[in-house]
Amino acid sequence: MRLSACCFVFFLAFSLAAQPGGEYNAIANRLAEYGRQTMAWNVEGLLDLTDPQLFEIVPREVLVHQFNNLQSDENITIKVTDFTVDRIGEIVSSRGVDYAPVDFHHGISFHLVSAKYCEPDNLQRVVRMLEKNYGKVTVDRTRNILKVTTRKSMFAIRRKENAPWYFVEYRPENASMIDLLVPAAVREMSN
């Protein structure tokens, strides 16, 4: 009886995973981890969830250095909040690789810990810079915190059947790199 119950549970789990929604659940679960790693600012954890083929174009060590530089200004503390997936698009297969477009957003809080950064001229310069990159900036002058919401797009990529899903963000400045990782036909279908 116990063996048949275990077999039934295994069969049920396998059947659910094989359903079309199972693929979306797999992407959603990996995205949840991506969100946790983003909010914790765990660079190694984020890169573990990044499409490994990216590292053939840009060495992992270079990306680690770039990510760490984002948090290197001792005058500003940066915190990522409220990671939210807005959409997981249709899964498209091309040459044995599965792709799904993903739209998400999250908040970023910039706590200005330096009195110099809080001076009106410097604060205004920082706000303008953030507005250029993120749009609307909310300023809490009493706590010296600037808040923005950033909306992003990326692709979920699975390079082998039953392999885990990985991610690569899409931004206009990295479009040529995305061209190497995601076929044009797939990118066009995802719009």
pLDDT at 17 over 80: no
For the chain, what is the largest distance between any 2 Cα atoms, rounded to a whole number of angstroms? 75
Q: What are 79's strand-pairing partners?
A: 109
CATH of the domain at 79: 3.10.450
pLDDT, position 20: 52
Specify the pLDDT at position 138. Answer: 97
The whole-chain average pLDDT of the chain stands at 87
Query: From CA 41, how far away is CA 130, in angstroms rounded?
Result: 19
Q: Are 69 and 43 in contact (CB under 8 A)?
A: no
User: What does the alpha-carbon distance between residue 52 and residue 138 come to, in Å, rounded to a whole number?
Assistant: 36
Cα-Cα-Cα-Cα torsion 5, 7, 13, 19, nearest 10 degrees, comes to -120
Instruction: State the pLDDT at residue 174.
Output: 82
Tokens found for residue 157: 């990529």
Q: Which domain holds residue 146?
A: 2-189
Measure CA 102 to chain center. 9
Predicted confidence (pLDDT) per residue in 108-161, tens digit: 999 999 999 999 999 999 999 999 989 999 999 999 999 999 999 999 999 998
- C-alpha closest to that of 140 among 103, 107, 101: 107
If one counts the domains in the chain, the total is 1
- For the four alpha carbons of 104, 135, 176 and 62, in that order, the dihedral sign comes to negative
